[in-house]
Amino acid sequence: MTVDEIKIKFSHGLTPYPEALEFMEKRVEDIGKGHADELIWFVEHPPLYTAGTSAKENDLLTPKRFPVYDAGRGGQYTYHGPGQRVVYVMLDLKKRGKDVRKFVANLEQWIIDTLLEFNVIGERREGRVGVWVKRNDTEDKIAAIGVRVRKWVTFHGISINLEPDLSHYAGIIPCGISEHGVTSLVDLGLPITMADLDAALQKTWPKIFNQSLI
C-alpha cells in the first residue's frame, strides 16, 4: 500500500471510549514503527464528555451527568454520543511534510466539503476551532476537531453532529464557548442517515488528502 491509499475501518454499535483510546494508542505506536498501516476509523460512542489538554474545570457544568474522560487531545470539553459521527484519523505526517497546521486545516476543509454535499454551508471562525453554520442571527457549531500528534503520527480527529441529543451539551460549555450554540444536520431539517454522511465523507476525502480510501 502506498501513501496514495489509506485503510478505512467502521465499528458498528457504540464503542466504549477507553477502548477507542487503547486502540488508537497501540495503532499510533505501530504506525510510527512502520508495523501498521495508516487508518481512518469511523465510530459512535455512548453518551460521554471528554476533556482536552486546555479544558477548564468550570466548563464542566454537570460532572455526574455522564462519564468524563481525559482525552489527551488538544482543545477543551466536548460531548460524544449516539447520532454523532466520530472519525479518528491516524496518519504519518512524516510522509506529508510534518505540517500539523496544514493537517488541521485539511480536516476542517474535509468537514466543510462534506457538509456541502448536503447544501449546508460550513464555515471557519477565527479563534474558534471547529466548523460553524449560520442560523438567522446566530451561529451554531456542527462539527468539532481535536487532534494529538506523537512522533509525527496523528490521532483523535473530528466529530460531526448528525442527530445526537443536543440537550446533552448542556452539561458542558462546549470547547469553552458559551455565546454560541450547537446544531446537527437533522436539527437543520435534513433527513440524512449515518450511511449518507459516511458516503459523503468517503467521497470528499480524496480531494483534500490526495488519497484513496480502501
All three cell numbers of 126: 477565527
Q: Rounded CA gap, 198 and 192, in Å? A: 10
Widest distance between CA atoms in the chain? 50
Cell of 99: 505540517
Dist CA 24 CA 34 (whole Å): 15
Cell reading at 135:
442560523
Query: Which residues are catalytically annotated?
Result: 175
CA–CA dist 5, 46 (Å, integer): 31
Indicate the angle between helix axes 100-116 and 194-209, nearest 10 degrees.
130
Task: Return all residues near 82 (Cβ < 8 A) that are at least 6 apart.
Answer: 14, 44, 45, 46, 47, 164, 165
Residues in the chain: 214
Cβ pair 160, 112 in contact under 8 A: no
- Give the list of residues 6+ apart from residue 126 with CB closer than 8 angstroms, or none: none
